[in-house]
Structures are given as C-alpha cells and as structure tokens.
C-alpha cells in the first residue's frame, strides 16, 4: 500500500483498493490477455483488502486454476464471470429488470445479471421477447412498469430497446450484442439503432458490454 494513495503496487499492476469508497464497488478484473498468475495475485490483493471480487470474461480453465487458490470463488458458465462476495449484502433496492431479445443474447444479459446481484441489487430476468414476436413483450407490460431500471440486450437490428422505452417510464440501458448476420457488422447495426432511438430516456453501452450495463444500472438504483 502506498501511504494513503489508495492502491497496492504489485509491480506489474497497481490495484485500486480505494475504488469501492469512490465508486461504490471494488475494482473489477477484466481477464482477457492477463496471465492466470497475474489474475490470481490481483484477486488475492482485493480479498486481502476486504473487497468484493468480480472477474469478467473469465475462461473456465482459468477459473479452475483460481479455485485452487481461492476456494470460495464462484463461477457462472454462461456469463463467464467469477465472483466472491466479501460480505453478505441485504438487498433492499428497487427492481432492476434485464430483458433479452433472443436466446443468443443471454450470455451478455447474464453478465449484467451477475454484476447486479454481486452489487446487491434486486434483479429479475425476461428473456427471448424480441420484436420478431412483439406479442411476447406485450404480455409483460406490468412487469416492465414495476422496474426502477431496465437493461435491454439485443442484437440483429437492436429495435427492442426503443420499444421497451416507449412502454415504461423507467430509464433504459441498451446493450447491443454481436449476434446477427453479416450486415449486422458484429453489433454495429444494433449499436447505431440504439444510439438513434426515437424514444427518450435510452442510454447505450458498448457492444456485448453486459458488465457495463449492470454497473451503470447499479449506480442508478443506489
């Protein structure tokens, strides 16, 4: 620890142990391109500092390695997230609803769900209700109206976010996914649709960024 600067210097990384105080949640470990040993050392430092632990885009084989050193570490296979709670949080926050357009969007939606749960939010899921069968979302309008924040995850043309926004007064966090055929340009088409939403109150995170959506929803819901 460097005095009161709020970080621990591991040589290869400077772990931000002050982030929970500033932002409401500990530094999150983005795992791609990191060695398993570096991930382990960063995770151990966060645990030593009594921080919650969230590891995004964590591969199963790396989790298996980490589990040997951090026995209480949990893993969600669909979301590819590892997590460990430093303390049990009593959830008294209002509802955050995570909606997916199709089943191909579920991995990104689950990343948002796990992020929200680890941060202590009350979360419900509504999956496979895209605009190709719009009657499916219309059956759940009352649930939409109960939510304090709604995350909408959609690929292809990404139209579901605007539709949901038009049905509710809740702020919408739209997540474009890379799901789609060639002209979807790996999520760019959905991203542009969401950015150009006709319905006000829609904000957009990056392509496939379920974590970012969950984090932002948590800030709104605090």
Q: What is the pLDDT of residue 1?
A: 44
- The CA distances from residue 123 to 37, 66, 91, 149, in Å, are 33, 27, 10, 10
121 pLDDT higher than 80? yes
Q: pLDDT tens across 43-95, in order?
A: 999 988 888 899 999 999 999 999 999 999 999 999 999 998 766 655 667 99
Q: What is the pLDDT of residue 88?
A: 60
Q: What backbone torsions phi and psi does residue 221 show, to the nearest 5 degrees? A: -85, -10
* pTM, 2 dp: 0.87
120 pLDDT higher than 90? no
Is the distance from CB of 55 to CB of 83 less than 8 angstroms? Answer: yes
Q: What is the pLDDT of residue 17?
A: 85
Domains of the chain: 7-84 (3.30.110), 95-221 (3.40.50.1970)
Q: What is the pLDDT of residue 63?
A: 94
Enclosing H/E stretch for 151: strand 149-154
Q: What is the pLDDT of residue 204?
A: 96
């Amino acid at each position: 620890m460097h005095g009161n600067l709020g970080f621990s210097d591991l040589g290869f990384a400077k772990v931000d142990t002050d982030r929970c105080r500033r932002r409401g949640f500990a530094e999150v470990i983005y795992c791609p391109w990191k060695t398993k040993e570096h991930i382990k050392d960063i995770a151990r430092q966060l645990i030593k500092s009594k921080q919650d632990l969230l590891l995004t885009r964590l591969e199963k084989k790396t989790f298996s390695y980490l589990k040997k050193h951090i026995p209480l570490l949990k893993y969600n296979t669909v979301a590819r997230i590892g997590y460990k709670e430093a303390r049990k949080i009593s959830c008294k926050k209002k509802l955050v609803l995570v909606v997916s357009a199709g089943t191909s969007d579920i991995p990104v939606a689950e990343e948002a769900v796990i992020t929200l749960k680890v941060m202590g939010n009350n979360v419900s899921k509504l999956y496979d209700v895209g605009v190709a069968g719009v009657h499916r979302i219309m059956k759940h309008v009352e649930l939409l109206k109960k939510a304090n924040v709604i995350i909408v995850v959609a690929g292809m043309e990404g139209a579901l976010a605007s539709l949901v926004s038009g049905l509710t007064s809740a702020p919408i966090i739209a997540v474009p996914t890379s799901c789609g055929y060639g002209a979807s340009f790996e999520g760019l088409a959905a991203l542009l649709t969401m950015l150009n939403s006709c319905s006000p109150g829609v904000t957009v995170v990056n392509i496939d960024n379920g974590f970012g959506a969950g984090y932002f929803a948590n800030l709104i819901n605090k």
